[in-house]
């Protein structure tokens, strides 16, 4: 039931995203704030910022189609509970593999399957391998000058990269359910960015070629996991000093009153993390830009100016709409397990 409620809230939030961004999308676009993995707000902002790391040969194409790359950054979350095998692509439970898991788990998928079996890997999450797969798919799309696939894969690889940089996406205690901290997932990756990301310095420099994509994916997971203890411990300490009535507050969202972490509680938690959320968002931005650039280079640096006038056909728009409807239909038919 919790999964059903979460998905419905996520989908309703998506269909209410603002349609008017202004003439200068790069300067005036501000993603809508919703709950989700990193939150709609953070996923969309991360993808938008990654576009501005790209070289001149790539940026015009991505800026022209900026709206698509931003809006579709949340597609993987929309189908998370409706499409088989989608959920494991967003995380990896390193604690399931014991100590030093990131050094014991094989970098490449086939080696990992041989060592642990595919069922085991899917059970505990596959995000670092999913990133590698999507990079190769994006390279193929560039090589074939397939604008629709380039945009779709760019948007979605951005999502998985961002998830790989979230500490709580590297543990089976993903929502504090084992440490009496239910809700910490959304607190860290949705509430804090919502309140403070406007003050973050997102300058990460220009996109760079990544020779070892598999290694980079695992470095992201390893780095995120190294921050996990502080994510949990600092909130536990803070919780002991706050009464329940001071920890939460009520805010209006889309005409409804919802319970959120209070601003004072959020401020103190954010301060105790010492810019951790900002660092992880910046790492995600840089990594996404690097992988887009790497896929383009590996495809032979095709001329993207020929794709500037690309527009999604009515047939493709209809297919996208039908796909979203299918996600909902499958969701309602899904068997409740939790």
Q: What pLDDT score was predicted for residue 40?
A: 85
CB of 39 closer than 8 Å to CB of 32: no
Q: What pLDDT score was predicted for residue 325?
A: 57
- From CA 19, how far away is CA 16, in angstroms rounded? 8
Q: Residues 112-140: pLDDT tens digits?
A: 999 999 999 999 999 999 999 999 999 99
pLDDT class of 254 with cuts at 50, 70, 90: confident
Q: What pLDDT score was predicted for residue 29?
A: 32
- From CA 58, how far away is CA 206, in angstroms rounded? 12
- Per-residue pLDDT, averaged over 3-21, amounts to 38
Containing structural domain, residue 13: 2-333
Q: What pLDDT score was predicted for residue 322?
A: 60
pLDDT class of 258 with cuts at 50, 70, 90: very high
Task: Give the rounded distance of the alpha carbon of 214 from its chain centre.
Answer: 18
Q: Residues 54-108: pLDDT tens digits?
A: 999 999 999 999 999 999 999 999 998 888 899 999 999 999 999 999 999 999 9
| Count of beta carbons in the 10 Å neighbourhood of residue 337 | 6
Q: Residues 320-338: pLDDT tens digits?
A: 666 665 545 554 444 333 3
Is 260 part of any domain? yes
For the chain, give the percent of residues with pLDDT over 90: 77
Q: Please state which of the ranges 146-155, 183-192, 307-316 shows the lowest mean pLDDT.
A: 307-316
For the chain, give the percent of residues with pLDDT over 70: 81
| pLDDT above 60 (res 311) | yes
The CATH number that applies at residue 52 is 1.10.575.10
- From CA 264, how far away is CA 164, in angstroms rounded? 28
Which phi and psi angles does 270 have, rounded to 5°? -60, -40
Q: What pLDDT score was predicted for residue 315?
A: 65
Is 31 part of any domain? yes
Is 253 part of any domain? yes
| pLDDT above 70 (res 299) | yes
Q: What pLDDT score was predicted for residue 272?
A: 98
CA angle 94, 97, 103 (to 5 degrees): 75
| pLDDT above 80 (res 32) | no
Which phi and psi angles does 257 have, rounded to 5°? -85, 125
Q: Please state which of the ranges 250-259, 287-296, 301-310, 319-328 shows the lowest mean pLDDT.
A: 319-328
Number of domains in the chain: 1
In Å, the largest CA–CA distance within the chain is 60
Q: What pLDDT score was predicted for residue 19?
A: 31
pLDDT class of 16 with cuts at 50, 70, 90: very low
Q: What pLDDT score was predicted for residue 306?
A: 94
Q: What pLDDT score was predicted for residue 221?
A: 98
CB of 42 closer than 8 Å to CB of 32: no
Is 338 part of any domain? no
- Per-residue pLDDT, averaged over 142-150, amounts to 98
Token pair, residue 293, equals 């650039």
Q: What is the mean pLDDT of the chain?
A: 87
pLDDT class of 312 with cuts at 50, 70, 90: confident
| Count of beta carbons in the 10 Å neighbourhood of residue 13 | 21
- From CA 291, how far away is CA 150, in angstroms rounded? 12
Q: What pLDDT score was predicted for residue 38?
A: 65
């Amino acid at each position: 039931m919790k999964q059903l409620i979460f998905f419905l809230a996520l989908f309703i939030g998506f269909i209410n995203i603002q349609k008017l961004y202004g003439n200068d999308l790069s300067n005036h676009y501000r993603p809508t704030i919703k709950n989700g993995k990193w939150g709609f707000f953070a996923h969309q902002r991360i993808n938008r910022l990654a576009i501005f790391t790209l070289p001149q040969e790539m940026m015009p194409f991505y800026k022209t189609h900026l709206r698509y790359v931003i809006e579709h950054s949340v597609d993987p979350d929309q189908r998370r509970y409706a499409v088989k095998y989608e959920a494991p692509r967003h995380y990896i439970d390193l604690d399931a593999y014991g100590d030093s898991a990131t050094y014991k788990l094989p970098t490449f998928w086939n080696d990992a399957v041989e060592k642990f079996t595919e069922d085991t890997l899917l059970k505990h999450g596959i995000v670092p391998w999913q990133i590698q797969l999507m990079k190769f798919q994006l390279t193929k799309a560039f090589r074939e000058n397939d604008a629709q696939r380039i945009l779709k894969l760019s948007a979605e690889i951005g999502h998985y990269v961002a998830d790989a940089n979230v500490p709580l996406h590297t543990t089976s205690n993903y929502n504090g359910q084992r440490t009496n901290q239910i809700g910490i997932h959304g607190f860290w990756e949705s509430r804090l960015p919502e309140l403070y990301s406007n003050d973050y310095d997102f300058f990460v420099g220009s996109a760079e070629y990544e020779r070892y994509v598999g290694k980079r994916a695992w470095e992201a997971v390893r780095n995120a996991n190294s921050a996990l203890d502080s994510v949990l411990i600092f909130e536990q300490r803070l919780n002991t000093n706050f009464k329940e009535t001071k920890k939460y507050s009520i805010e209006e969202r889309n005409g409804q009153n919802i319970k959120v972490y209070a601003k004072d509680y959020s401020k103190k938690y954010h301060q105790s993390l010492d810019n951790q959320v900002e660092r992880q968002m910046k790492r995600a931005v840089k990594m996404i830009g690097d992988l887009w650039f790497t896929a383009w280079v590996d495809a032979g640096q095709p001329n993207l100016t020929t794709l500037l006038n690309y527009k999604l056909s009515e047939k493709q728009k209809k297919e996208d709409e039908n796909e979203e409807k299918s996600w909902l239909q499958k969701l309602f038919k899904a068997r409740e397990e939790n």
